[in-house]
Structure 1
Amino acid sequence: MRVAAYDVGLSRSGPGLLLFDLRARKPPADIAAVLAVIRETRPDILLLTGFDQDFRGVALTALRARLAAGAGGIDYPFAYAPPGNAGVESGFDLDGDGRLRGAGDALGWGRFPGQGGMALLSRLPVDAEASHDFSGLPWADLPGARLPIRPHGAPVLDPEARSGWPLASNALWDVAVTLPGGRRLRLLASNPTPPLFDGPEQFNLLRNADEIRFWRLYLDGAAFPDSVGRMARLDGPFVLLGDLNTDPVAGAGDRAAIAALLAHPALRDPNPPRATARAGERALRLDYALPARELDAPDAAVFWPEPGEPLAELVAAGPAHRLVWVDLRFPDP
């Protein structure tokens, strides 16, 4: 079974625009590239990040229809995509520009609700009742939370904002997928804010690091309340997925946070061969598919064809990120 994460970069400047492009007779180059990559790699479970959500999931339905159409199509009959925090109005002037309702004032950066959101597609049944959405967990409630402080010592989040400001800039999910024979696989999915575009308070860097640290605590057995008030803790084998937006050895971000997650004894890092940037420099590793140590994971890779290989030009015209996958092998039930 193949499990993959792909930051598809399918985000537009306004609501409804992605749906318009997905329904076009000839889709734009970025959509064509995404469709080709998914059809070529054929994941059984796929986490999409950087995908504009809408209230009724119409854009996601349109994407699934395009993936399934024609020769070589792939069908994803199951999905998990509750609303996240991107673009949701907070009611606070977080960016200090004297105005409310800006992209920088949302609970997670976004010009409209759902911009650059997340969705999980699956060829296996998703057990929504056994899944957990931690997207509403207040940042301040994370043990050891490092909340940002302004240079003069005042907190960025005043007491009113602090009480409800979520840890997740987008979403934090523990999604249960039912395997043949009735066993479950947990998909631990997130897309922390990029640790960029900061002032001296380092709001995004600290939030990114704590979003990553949430998973370390969860792997350690910590319990957290989900969106319906259930105290939930990790139960069963898992794959941790997502664009975590931090590389352990280069680039912006708290490298110690991601390095500590990769070194956690509960998971294994397949460390698939890293494609190098075309200029010859090492590419940043931001996207991850990390299985539980107990799982048999015979293969993993980043899909990044070299120049001249099939799909290379199409992929180059698509999103900046590349799909990363891990293959799992389960004994017969």
Structure 2
Amino acid sequence: MKRAVLAVAAVIAALVVPAADAAEPVRFATFNASLNRAAEGELLADLSTPDDPQARQVAEVVQRVRPDVLVLNEFDYDRTGGAVGAFLANYLAIGQNGAAPIDYPYAYTAPVNTGVPSGMDLDNDGTVGGANDAYGFGQFPGQYGMLVLSKYPIGQARTFQLFRWVDLPGARLPDDPATPQPADWYSPQELESLRLSSKSHWDLPIDVDGRTVHLLVSHPTPPAFDGPEDRNGLRNQDEIRFWADYVTPGRGGYLYDDAGVRGGLEPGARFVIAGDQNSDPVDGDSTGANQILHAPRVIDPRPGSAGAVEAGTTQGGANADQRGNPFLDTGDFGDEAPGNLRVDYVLPAAPLIPLRAGVFWPTSQDPLARLNTTSDHHLVWTDLLV
């Protein structure tokens, strides 16, 4: 185990480039902060004062790591923008436990599919309505939304909230095991409107000192909470495949965005894929992350932490039987199956140069270990030369 951790640490150390003649690196990060609430408007209410304990912890994690561009998964969407403004003013702009305040002059959020009623019985339980029958699992529209904060200007977003699952060539559509027909969990009528993205897919052009970096943001559904038809597991893989096709020249021509514009990313464009993919390349219920890890030009900086190694060892259980290196884990799911996993990613693509990368997961001896309970995910960061 120690040899494996040291080997990975050596790989990361080898990525560190002498910076004497280099431009200032830009830190990209992703954090599933679990700032989701059970009812619409509850997050805004919690953030309207500066004393919500969890939001203070989230803010402190951000202030300790200090990313320049940050993806926050599971930040409930609020069409007024009030929750975003409140988080910036009441939490990030106030130093938490000795950490320095941090300012993000640019922010982006938009509607997502979670909680949006489909009007169909998507879970085939004989009734229509509720979280399982929404276009993406959620108790209300916008639950488990996404937010991007940036120190650099964000250009015109390209969103893919409405892209239909059936329009993905070779879509992995689930099969009802109780019937002889293949891939028939969803009726033809349901497939006419069923969307691929459980939240949304965003292409955000970030202007970093005159150079555009496309931040590709998503949060695929967890590959669980379904039945033998595996509808969530299959959807998770296809949500991840979306980005693999989008960035691969010649494979994204079928894609269309919410404005009706077709095609994938322009060949040679700089990009970073970031977000909670709910997929580990080796362990767990989905290995779909390999589709983006092996996409053209993508570089895996292999961020990790000693805290993840310690957690996997002390928790034991399912962690003991995993094949993946615990150093790379980003999600702390305890000792029960599937155990801790690598599910959160910041993946740059050449010609971007990763200098160093890490996961904010302090060991139990670190005074900052108190922040490990902020979320069941840990912030992942990568420093890039753009």
TM-score normalised by L of structure 1: 0.93
2:70 to 13, 25, 46: 46
Taking a change above 3 Å as real, the CA distance of residues 277 and 247 of structure 1, as seen in their structure-2 partners, is farther
What letter is aligned with 1:225?
Answer: Y
CA distance in 2, matches of 1:141, 1:13: 32
> What's 1:140 paired with?
166
Q: Name the residue aligned to 1:262.
A: 293
Contact 1:239-1:292 at 8 Å conserved across structures: yes
Alignment of 1:150 onto 2:181: no
| Residue of 253, 269, 276 corresponding to 1:243 | 276
Residues 43-82 of structure 1 aligned to structure 2 (within 5 Å): 43-65=67-89, 66-70=91-95, 72-82=100-110
- 2:355 is aligned to 298
Q: 1: CA distance between counterparts of 2:310 and 2:74?
A: 21
Distance 2:297 2:246 in 1: 10
1:279 is displaced (CA, Å) by 4.6
1:238-295 alpha-carbon deviations (Å, 9 max, x no partner): 1100100010111112x1x222321223200011124225251433100000000321
Instruction: State the Cα distance separating 1:99 from its structure 2 match.
Output: 2.6
In structure 1, distance between residues paired with 2:359 and 2:294: 20
Give me the whole-angstrom Cα distance separating, in 1, the residues matched to 2:247 and 2:147: 22
> Hey, what does 2:46 align to over in structure 1?
21
- Say which SS state the counterpart of residue 192 (structure 2) adopts: helix
Q: How far off its partner does 1:25 sit?
A: 4.2
Shift of 1:232: 3.7
Structure 2, unpaired ranges of 5+? 1-25, 314-318, 320-325, 327-339
Q: Distance in 2 between matches of 1:25 and 1:170?
A: 28
User: Within 1, Cα distance between the matches of 2:383 and 2:62?
Assistant: 15
Amino acid at match of 1:292: A
The SS at the match of 1:47 is strand
Change (3 A) 1:168 1:153: farther
Q: Any idea what SS the aligned residue of 1:301 has? A: strand
In structure 1, the residue matched to 2:208 is 179
Question: What CA distance in whole angstroms lies between the structure 1 residues aligned with 2:173 and 2:146?
Answer: 25
Q: Distance in 1 between matches of 2:35 and 2:246?
A: 30
Q: 1:31 to 1:144 in 2, by over 3 A?
A: same
Amino acid at match of 1:110: G
Aligned 8 A contact 2:240 2:291 in 1: no
- 2:57 aligns to what SS in structure 1? helix
Separation in 1, partners of 2:262, 2:256: 4
The runs of at least 4 consecutive aligned structure 1 residues that moved more than 3 Å come to none
**Distance in 1, Cα, partners of 2:222 & 2:46:** 26
Alpha-carbon contact 1:77-1:123 (below 8 Å) kept? yes
User: CA 1:148–1:265 in structure 2 vs 1: closer, same or farther (change >3 Å)?
Assistant: same
8 Å contact 1:176–1:186 — kept in the other structure?
A: yes
SS of match in other structure, 1:225: coil
Counterpart in the other structure of 1:124:
152
What amino acid does structure 2 have at the position aligned with 1:306? T
In 2, Cα distance between the equivalents of 1:271 and 1:25? 35
CA RMSD of aligned residues (A): 1.5
Q: Would you tell me which structure has more strand in proportion to its own residues? A: 1
Q: Decide which of 61, 73, 94 is 1:37's aligned counterpart.
A: 61
1:312 is matched with which residue? 369
Aligned to 1:191: 219
Deviations 1:119-156 (CA, angstroms, capped at 9, x unpaired): 1111110002xx21012110000111111110114512
Match 2:195 to one of 161, 166, 171: 166
> What is aligned with 1:113?
141
**How many residue pairs end up in the alignment?**
323
Offset, 1:107: 0.2
Aligned to 2:309, what secondary structure does the other structure show? coil
- One-letter code aligned to 1:148: P
The structure in which a higher percent of residues are helix is 2
